[in-house]
Amino acid sequence: MAPPAALLALSFCLSVSDGSILVPLRLFSGNFNFSSAVGLVALRQVALTADGSGLSLASDPTGTVNFLDMVNNLKGDSGRGYYIELSIGTPGQKMNILVDTGSSNFAVAAAPHPFITHFFNTALSSSYQYTGQGVAVRYTQGNWNGELGMDLVSIPEGPNGTFPINIAAILSSEGFFLPDINWQGILGLAYPLLARPDPSVTPFFDSLVQQLGIPDIFSLQMCGAGLSASSTVDAAGGSLIMGGTESTLYTGPVWYTPIVEEWYYQVEVLKLEVGNQNLELDCKEYNTDKAIVDSGTTLLRLPVNVFNALVTAITRSSLIQEFSSGFWDGTKLACWMKGETPWRFFPKLSLYLRATNSSQSFRLTILPQLYIQQITDVDGTLDCFRFGVSSSVNGLVIGATVMEGFYVVFDRAQRRLGFALSNCAVSAGLPLSEIAGPFSAADVASNCSGGVRNEPVLWVISYALIAVCALVLIVLLLLLVVPCRRRNSFGEITDESSLVRHRIK
């Protein structure tokens, strides 16, 4: 059994031709108590039709989709993951599936495992079709192997109907399923470029958009903020709204930032502040080599230089002196006497994202309750907390630490992500997050984004290299020297360039 404070970190190493893409999944295994009330307005039916700009319209009282039916369709928390119930096969077999915006495969356990209660038995489904192709996913710690297939899937608290969906049936695994989780598979909601074994495997949400004709938009509310680790209650943990947004889940306006590249949900971070103090770093450091929004990552992960600057700034502004370095690097917990919460000692953290109007930005702010996270108690006398931020050698990841403060709109139709104040990010009647803007973006470089790593660009680079190589080859042949070798035409997204590395803590 993993210790209560252990932090699971899995990195999907996914083969593409001769290169590889590594997809992060980061979970903390623990038990939390959750309670919140979501105010509901009168029931309304929504026919999901497009208005030309990608927005959903409530135009038909007999429509087949009701957004309010999707409210509270997620369970779990940031530590163990947020999951949704799906019914797979004929007759339907109900499975809990982890919601992950940092990968693109729909994969489900198809064989027994000691850490899961049940699995999808393909032999009992009359509609399951094996495609004849295998799939293997490796992790920094662990792996799984399986087969690609297709079967009918329905979503009890989602759009009505049953849909043929690509499925990766997990037949063997190591280090993927852990003790104390209550899900049996993973629902990747990112773009086809990350799908394994290649982008021809249509991801789950793309299939829904194609088959239902709904707008290419989904939105996510994760309600794990302020959970107590002392309870085993697994209450509703949030909402996944497919096809649009549900106004009862957020307050105020939705602020949008462009999606820089369509593989992960890559965005552009302009600056970070601790309290009201700018870290004063070159904005490119925030985006090296990418900045993504990923529901499958527990913490806010920052490039090493940014992380070090953040810790220095927090230490300087914190009311706590001589604070253990082990707390910052995730190797130690900080404990206080029960009821003596430490949040008043720490400053707010703010991230600025470029707005869709590129000359402007907006600010996401999280209070200490979101990044100084209570995870366990000791002997009923101490409450222990972890630091909800960690360092990363391969990119900035806006994970659950930040996402739990906001209602996040994945507006793929207009290639933008939206953020609004989540109405469940509240503790003792006070909001745990803030959003403000617009601010001028003139004080940062015109382009802060990191390296672009999509295949079309790699094709252009590869052809240029081939052309150069051909010229050199001609010269070398004339000189009777061994000809040059060209590189792979897809280039290579290597372990060092794309992996958001994680450690078990």
Q: How many CA atoms lie within 13 A of 102 on its CB side?
A: 31
| 102 beta partners | none
Decide: 159 and 192 in contact? Cβ < 8 Å: no
Compute the Cα dihedral for 2, 142, 189, 73 and give only its sign.
negative
* pLDDT tens figures, 256-312: 999 999 999 999 999 999 998 999 999 999 998 899 999 988 899 999 999 999 999
* Cα angle 133, 136, 137; round to 5: 145
Residue 31 tokens read as 């038990």
For residues 21 and 34, give the distance between their C-alpha atoms in angstroms, rounded to a whole number.
35
Would you tell me how many other CB atoms lie within 10 Å of the CB of residue 371? 22
Decide: 20 and 196 in contact? Cβ < 8 Å: no
Give alpha helix (H) positions in 342-449: 368-371, 400-403
| 107 beta partners | 168, 186
Residue 251 tokens read as 């307050």
For residues 86 and 415, give the distance between their C-alpha atoms in angstroms, rounded to a whole number.
27
For residues 411 and 417, give the distance between their C-alpha atoms in angstroms, rounded to a whole number.
6
Decide: 362 and 267 in contact? Cβ < 8 Å: no
For residues 81 and 78, give the distance between their C-alpha atoms in angstroms, rounded to a whole number.
5
| 13 beta partners | 22, 138
Which amino acid is it at 294? D
Task: List CB contacts of 478: < 8 A, sequence separation 6 or more.
Answer: none
Could you write out the DSSP letters of every residue in 379-409? TTTEEEEEESEEEESS-EEE-HHHHTTEEEE
| CA proximity to 392, closest of 262, 478, 285 | 285
For residues 225 and 208, give the distance between their C-alpha atoms in angstroms, rounded to a whole number.
30
What is residue 446's predicted lDDT score, i.e. its pLDDT?
72
What is residue 418's predicted lDDT score, i.e. its pLDDT?
98
Residue 469 tokens read as 């190589």
Q: Measuring CA to CA, how many Å separate 220 from each of 18, 227, 239? A: 34, 18, 6
- For each of the domains in the chain, give its residue range(s) and CATH number, in order of start: 75-214 (2.40.70.10), 236-462 (2.40.70.10)
φ, ψ of residue 14 in degrees (nearest 5)? -115, 125
What is residue 377's predicted lDDT score, i.e. its pLDDT?
74
Decide: 364 and 256 in contact? Cβ < 8 Å: no
Q: Which residues of the chain have pLDDT under 50?
A: 1-62, 140, 228-233, 454-463, 480-505
| CA proximity to 433, closest of 217, 281, 224 | 224
| 167 beta partners | 149
φ, ψ of residue 15 in degrees (nearest 5)? -80, 135
Decide: 434 and 419 in contact? Cβ < 8 Å: no
| 427 beta partners | 430
Residues in the chain: 505
For residues 384 and 372, give the distance between their C-alpha atoms in angstroms, rounded to a whole number.
10
What is residue 47's predicted lDDT score, i.e. its pLDDT?
37
| CA proximity to 59, closest of 279, 195, 243 | 243
DSSP conformational letter for 488: P
For residues 222 and 406, give the distance between their C-alpha atoms in angstroms, rounded to a whole number.
8
Decide: 291 and 261 in contact? Cβ < 8 Å: no
| CA proximity to 329, closest of 4, 7, 39 | 7
Catalytic residues: 100, 294
